[in-house]
Amino acid sequence: MRKSILLPLLSVLLLSPGTATAAPTPTPSPAVRDFGNGPDRNDEAALIPEQFAAKAAETAIPAFDHNRGYPRHTALPIPPENPADASIKLGLIPHHAIAARLNDLQARSDRVSAEIIGRSAGGRDLYLVTVTAPETAAQAREQERLRQRIESGHQIPANRYKAPIYVNANIHGNEWEGTDAALRVIEELATDPAAGDLLKTTRLYFNVTANPDGRVGNKRANDNGFDLNRDFVTASQPEDRAMRQIMIDTQPVTMIDLHGYVNGTLVEPTTPPHGANYEYDLFIRNAYPNGLGIEAAINGLGYTPDKDGVFPVQIPFRDLDEGWDDWPPIFTPQYAPFHGAVAAHTIEFPMQVNNAAYNTLPVEELRRRAQINVNIASAAIHATYSFVKANHDRLIGDQTEVFRRGAAGEPSRVVPLGSVPGFGPEDQWNTTFPRAYTIAAGSPAAARLVDHLIANDVKVGRAVLPFRSGGRTYPAGTYVVDMHQPKRGLANVMLEPGQDISPRVNAMYDISGWSHALLWGATVQPLSDYRVVAEPVRVAAPTGFVPPGHGALALQLTDENDVIALNALLGRGVQVTWTANGRAVLPDSARPAARELADRYGVRFSRSGTAAGAALAPVRVTAAASADDLFTLREMGFSVTPVSTAVLNAGYDWSATDVLFVSSGLNYGALNPAAKAALEAYLTGGGVVTRGATGAAFNAATALLPVTAVAGRSDANGVVRLTSGDYSFVYSPRWFTGLGAGVRAEQTYDSFVSGHWRPNEDGTGGQDAAKGQAAVVSGRSARGAAAVLFGTEPMFRNHPKALFPQVAQALYWTAGTSGASR
Ligand SMILES: [Zn+2]
């Protein structure tokens, strides 16, 4: 039995510092984003085994070897045959057969090199294939030297440099055909004598399948349940870290990302808004012509609506007003420009074979469609390398100019109207670069941010001496990001607060707000001048600290790593007391463990005088949660048992549950009588933490806290400021009104900082309506259950790191008040 923790303890909780179904008759499918292919993250519970999250954290991405010549023949290990691979039904290559195919191509051609560049969440090999004319080691080193010259913004003799092209396939696992097209084109290039000239002037890099877990498993996400084409600014998943490393190491001038399914085929460039941190004049003048070339190649295949069900290509930039934008750098082609791609394209094949079509159409029809998609994807690859071959020197020059402007610290340029046909005022998006940013050193959050920037190839320095700027003094050791650097666009897109773009845009495709500066817990300041003596940083300095001497130690939960360390201490049986300030206190005898964890996680312990409070034990969480929530709960070191409505209906033993977390896939009304009775018994004293629509509905159905949950506009999202002065993140925001007896507002909305949040058509649900309303509430139900309800999104896609400890504190608090015995 646990001791009860008094309700007022929770008040520190939130003060952390810091189509479509298969259509027998062909119809064009609207250019609606293919995220419609998956269930809403509030509808389906993730039932993912724990092993995958752990693997994702461990997977190291090898650095690219610039010192070897080509070809680099690697004998790829052959995975065991898997007759259940979803590709087989479509007549496409299963993941287990790719390695043998690549080994064969390497044996037959001195143009083909294959290597393993990482492993998926599910442990499957990721293959990078390089196709180029043979190079000696000296020639490869010379190519790398030229690449570095370009990256530093220096002109090179372009005729001596092989333009890098990147083809990314199958990032959505159930959009299969990019992989088969890549293998087809690799095979053509391996042997075709006519390809000799192309391969002397280019290197083509193929990420053969970016998402083998999804390819095998007939699903959009990887085995952690993450959409890999939303993860580039966060890089929580090993597949994204592998793609990021490809883009840094190979520095493609042009890239294409192969998806499905939009009929007629969708080919970017995009509608506005355009990312404000790009050198967009250099981008659009290459991306638009390449898009037109891809269109011509695809339409040139001769497919027709009547004969084949294939409609003509659409280009969002030209053919749509809004809704297919390149604002957030979370997608591959919207991340690649920061590493020098001056043309980057999502391409959506036309013929649907996934979801309902996969399960209902005859196999022959599925295979007919899949072959059309392979042909279209191959045409897109052909068109792209032909474009690069024809515009080789200009693309290299434009990439050089991107980096030169960054290194010189030039202002963001306004792209002239009409610079390509149709480029209007709605396409003009700009930002203001500060001279530099500082990141205050000494916290795990600062170390995390610095290491993340470095992993993204952003240069970070450390002040050797104290310095002054803007009337403030910064101590020696402060991290500094000099914005006169080649990749300043990437630095700024992560460190600026962002913009509230609601006034200029009605419909957005995905998120519109993010900010590593405001949401990752470090203290980040822009500087208007830069007079700092700094030394380059390769890795953030250690931050862990245990005060010397003897006596009890305290750990304030302000960072995810604090939570990880606390859960590790609890797991080792250390006697932890949860005190009145949201602090964990451990006895003097735990000092060896504290020193080890301080060293490993960078957490900072302080002296503690008293240990008045409740004893804390490891918290066992039962979670009906979205995949990203589940991943983050486990990342924090909680023991989580995933459940869903169906799992509970099959009979669930609640005796080992300290807290129930509800954010997705639990519908109280759909529980059978036995499951309801078992749940009700748990709720008599059992703690609950909820998030979002599903959580609010659960609270209402079970009559836990007497509040009314109000939904904001469903597509609203971004960074919000709270009345406490802290920042939070929302997506489909909610707030709570009519707070009954014993319910307190833990957080209150103040203002919207960045992102997109308009009111509904009827004027409700806007950012003004949320102002002053409770964003997070806590309290105790009439049955004694402690509950915390989040209207914010504290674990969204594993991104808002500074908010994770809020969930942890809610779990410790509600578990502490529960009646669960162990
Ligand atoms: Zn896709």
What local confidence, expressed as pLDDT, does residue 50 receive?
Answer: 81
Q: Ligand 1 centre from 136 Cα, in Å?
A: 38
d(CA 561, CA 340): 34
Q: Tokens in use for 491?
A: 């630095």
Q: Ligand 1 centre from 538 Cα, in Å?
A: 35
Whether residue 204 contacts residue 189, with contact meaning beta carbons closer than 8 Å, is answered with yes
Q: Ligand 1 centre from 348 Cα, in Å?
A: 7
Which residue is listed with tokens 């119809």?
Answer: 27
Q: Ligand 1 centre from 35 Cα, in Å?
A: 7
Q: Ligand 1 centre from 225 Cα, in Å?
A: 14
Q: Ligand 1 centre from 331 Cα, in Å?
A: 10
Q: Ligand 1 centre from 469 Cα, in Å?
A: 45
d(CA 418, CA 736): 48
Q: Ligand 1 centre from 283 Cα, in Å?
A: 22
What local confidence, expressed as pLDDT, does residue 614 receive?
Answer: 85
Q: Ligand 1 centre from 293 Cα, in Å?
A: 21
Q: Ligand 1 centre from 489 Cα, in Å?
A: 25
d(CA 270, CA 317): 4
Query: For 724-741, how does the pLDDT look when each residue is reduced to its tens digit (9 = 90+)?
Result: 999 999 999 999 999 999
- Please provide the size of the chain in residues: 822
Q: Ligand 1 centre from 495 Cα, in Å?
A: 28
Whether residue 526 contacts residue 437, with contact meaning beta carbons closer than 8 Å, is answered with yes
Whether residue 224 contacts residue 627, with contact meaning beta carbons closer than 8 Å, is answered with yes
Q: Ligand 1 centre from 645 Cα, in Å?
A: 28
Q: Ligand 1 centre from 73 Cα, in Å?
A: 31
Q: Please state the φ and ψ torsions of residue 637, each to the nearest 5 degrees.
A: 95, 10
Q: Ligand 1 centre from 349 Cα, in Å?
A: 9
Q: Which residues, in sequence order, are CB contacts of 307 under 8 Å at separation 6+?
A: none
Q: Ligand 1 centre from 130 Cα, in Å?
A: 23
Q: Ligand 1 centre from 389 Cα, in Å?
A: 27
Do the bridges between strand 620-624 and strand 639-642 make them parallel or antiparallel, or are there none, so unpaired? Answer: parallel
Q: Ligand 1 centre from 39 Cα, in Å?
A: 14
Query: For 400-415, how does the pLDDT look when each residue is reduced to its tens digit (9 = 90+)?
Result: 999 999 999 999 999 9
Q: Ligand 1 centre from 480 Cα, in Å?
A: 37
Q: Ligand 1 centre from 34 Cα, in Å?
A: 6
Q: Ligand 1 centre from 716 Cα, in Å?
A: 22
Q: Ligand 1 centre from 347 Cα, in Å?
A: 9
Q: Ligand 1 centre from 175 Cα, in Å?
A: 6
d(CA 123, CA 49): 13
Residues lining ion ligand 1 (Cβ < 5 A) are 34, 172, 175, 259
Q: Ligand 1 centre from 172 Cα, in Å?
A: 5
Q: Ligand 1 centre from 729 Cα, in Å?
A: 25
Closest CA to 287 of 327, 341, 330: 341
Q: Ligand 1 centre from 332 Cα, in Å?
A: 11
Instruction: Please compute Rg for the chain using Cα positions.
Output: 27
Q: Ligand 1 centre from 128 Cα, in Å?
A: 20
What local confidence, expressed as pLDDT, does residue 41 receive?
Answer: 73
What local confidence, expressed as pLDDT, does residue 602 receive?
Answer: 98
Q: Ligand 1 centre from 514 Cα, in Å?
A: 21
Burial class (CB in 10 A: 0-12, 13-18, 19+), 217: buried
Strand order in 343-349's β-sheet?
112-119, 125-131, 202-207, 163-169, 254-260, 343-349, 266-267
Q: Ligand 1 centre from 171 Cα, in Å?
A: 7
For 7-26, the DSSP string reads GGGGGGTT------S--SS-
Q: Ligand 1 centre from 330 Cα, in Å?
A: 13
List, in sequence order, the alpha helices (H) in 514-606.
Answer: 516-519, 560-571, 591-601
Q: Provide the CB-side half-sphere exposure for 369 (13 A, CA).
A: 29
Q: Give this prediction's pTM.
A: 0.95
Q: Ligand 1 centre from 579 Cα, in Å?
A: 48
Q: Ligand 1 centre from 165 Cα, in Å?
A: 20
Name residues of the chain where pLDDT drops below 70: 1-40, 53-58, 580-581, 610-611, 817-822
Q: Ligand 1 centre from 344 Cα, in Å?
A: 15
Q: Ligand 1 centre from 473 Cα, in Å?
A: 48
d(CA 512, CA 490): 16
Q: Ligand 1 centre from 100 Cα, in Å?
A: 26
Q: Ligand 1 centre from 448 Cα, in Å?
A: 30
Integer CA distances (angstroms), 806 to 12, 73, 405, 491, 786, in order: 9, 50, 41, 27, 15
Q: Ligand 1 centre from 19 Cα, in Å?
A: 13
Q: Ligand 1 centre from 714 Cα, in Å?
A: 22
